[in-house]
Amino acid sequence: MTKKEKVEFVVTKLEELYPTTPIPLDHKNPYTLLIAVLLSAQCTDVRVNKITPILFKKADNPYDMIKLSVEEIKEIIRPCGLSPMKSKGIYGLSHILIDKHNGSVPQSFESLEELPAVGHKTASVVMAQAFGFPAFPVDTHIHRLMHRWALTSGKNVVQTEKDAKRLFDEAMWNKLHLQIIFFGREHCPARSHNATSCPICSEIGRRELFS
């Protein structure tokens, strides 16, 4: 099975399984999405979605967020983990958005990645899902599955992202990265993965066996 054939099969199967791709983090604007993605680092989306309504009831914009103290933010987001770093990041980036961007989330990778606690993956999600800019955010699910499907040999998410962007058409990046995440969670987990029952791994293995 050639790499091109794998790519075509993966795209077809994911579209069949996940024709629609709702954003898994609850939000109502670019700012709340930015905060939710920041909170999702080393935390499940389910837990983030339980915490953000509490936080956003007090502050769903940078102007209200800076009225809270770092300690108040930390107490609210504590269940998401890494609360000392995340609370400082939320408070700090809210100030910067007001001071440098008129209270709005900037629409560029460079400006987003200058914000405290915002890395390339977080910036990519915001650019893709808030602004529709072509991006391919790579998380642990995507990194794992790209390796399992032999679509990358990258040692880190940076190389995996480069390979994904090279293999898949740009027009499908924003939807495809969510489809892969959904698939990884439902069918292709890190542990107790059964390749013979996995809708993609089983077929790739079968085709390679008889090719």
What DSSP string runs through 5-59? HHHHHHHHHHHHH-S----SS--SSHHHHHHHHHHTTTS-HHHHHHHHHHHHHH-
Judge contact between 95 and 63, C-beta under 8 A. Answer: no
- Cα–Cα distance for residue pair 36/60, rounded to 1 Å: 11
- Cα–Cα distance for residue pair 203/205, rounded to 1 Å: 5
Report long-range pairs for 20-24 (Cβ below 8 Å, ≥24 apart).
Answer: 21/175, 21/178, 21/179, 21/182, 23/129, 23/178, 24/49, 24/178, 24/181
- Cα–Cα distance for residue pair 148/108, rounded to 1 Å: 32
- The position carrying tokens 């390749």 is 195
Contacts of residue 136, Cβ cutoff 8 Å, sequence gap at least 6: 124, 128, 161, 164, 165, 168, 173, 176, 177
Of the candidates 6, 86, 121, 163, the residue annotated as catalytic is 121
The amino acid present at 46, given as its one-letter code, is V
Would you call 121 a catalytic residue per the annotation? yes
Would you call 67 a catalytic residue per the annotation? no
Of the candidates 86, 139, 163, 169, the residue annotated as catalytic is 139
Pull the structure tokens for residue 40.
């999702």
**Residues classed as catalytic:** 121, 139
